Structure 1
Amino acid sequence: MHAWVFWLIAAGILFVVEMMTLTFYLLWLSLGAAAAMLVSIVVPDNILLQVIVGCAVALVLTVFTKPLAKRFRTSRGFQDTGTELVGKKGIVIEPIDKGQYGIVKIGGDTWSAVSDQFIGLNEQVIVVKRGNAIIEVERWEETH
């Protein structure tokens, strides 16, 4: 198999995974793989050059777009989709042991969740805090 096909597949997979995560980090890696693919078409025998160009493109994009992304996130009117989770109710679909992860369904999304207490299957919870990919929940009681 030609090297450009490998780079094309890598770029495609990274791009699809990026569309599912929306972190922008995999997008830059995908563009780096695409740049390596272009180099492999021009210089098919120099794998080292392909890797160097791919890594350089991904690194440059990551370094120079981080301030832009930070400015965008702090701009007025921007709301991270996860910040609206705090205060929402969900249902436990995988039990949460104290100090262990479980899974909670909120609306149509599932989240890894932790709690200071054991929360069993199908119990209702409320989100009290959100980390990057993990939420902290408490058992929902009607007194809330």
Structure 2
Amino acid sequence: MELWAIWLVIGIILFIIEMLTLTFYLLWVGIGAIAAALIALVAPDLFFVQALVGCIVALGLTFFTKPLTRFIRKSKGYTDVIDDLVGKQGIVVETIEVGRNGVVKVGNETWSATSYQALQKDDIVIVIQRGTTVLEVQKWEGVS
């Protein structure tokens, strides 16, 4: 198999894995593999150059897009969908013990959650704070 095809397959596999994880880190590496495939078409005997170009593209995208996303997040009018979870009701799917994460369902999504009080399955909770992947919840004391 030609080396450009191997780089292309690697890039496609990384794109597929990226679609499953949604981290954007594998996206940049996948684009680097595609760049290496393009170099392999032009210079098929220079594996080192192909790998170097792929690495430079992946690292460049990783480092230069971070400030761009930070700028966009701080721009006027930007709202993060995850921030909208604060104040919403959910239901405990997996028991939450003090100091241990459980699982809550807020809307149609399930989230890891923590609480300063023990919560049982099917308790109604309200989101009081969010981390990157873990919500902080407390038992909802309101009237349904």
TM-score of the superposition, structure 1-length normalised? 0.82
User: Runs of 4+ in structure 1 displaced over 6 angstroms?
Assistant: none
- 1:43 paired with 2:40, answer no
Unaligned runs of 5+ in 1: none
Deviations 1:35-72 (A, max 9, x none): 12222333344443332211110111122222221111
Q: How does 1:1-144 map to 2 (within 5 A)?
A: 1-19=1-19, 22-142=22-142
Unaligned runs of 5+ in 2: none
Q: Say which SS state the counterpart of residue 104 (structure 1) adopts.
A: strand
Q: Distance in 1 between matches of 2:128 and 2:95?
A: 17
Q: Distance in 2 between matches of 1:51 and 1:73?
A: 33
Deviations 1:93-129 (A, max 9, x none): 2222222222211111111111222222222111111
The worse-fitting range, judged by mean Cα deviation, of 4-13 and 74-83 is 4-13
Q: Calculate the aligned-residue CA RMSD, in Å.
A: 2.4
Q: Say which SS state the counterpart of residue 79 (structure 1) adopts.
A: coil
Q: Say which SS state the counterpart of residue 141 (structure 2) adopts.
A: coil
Q: Distance in 2 between matches of 1:132 and 1:4?
A: 38
Q: Say which SS state the counterpart of residue 142 (structure 1) adopts.
A: coil
Q: Say which SS state the counterpart of residue 81 (structure 2) adopts.
A: coil
The worse-fitting range, judged by mean Cα deviation, of 124-133 and 37-46 is 37-46
Q: Say which SS state the counterpart of residue 116 (structure 2) adopts.
A: coil
Higher Cα Rg: structure 1 or 2? 2
Q: Name the aligned partner's letter for residue 29 of structure 2.
A: L
TM-score of the superposition, structure 2-length normalised? 0.82
Identity of aligned residues (%): 50
Count of residues paired in the alignment: 144
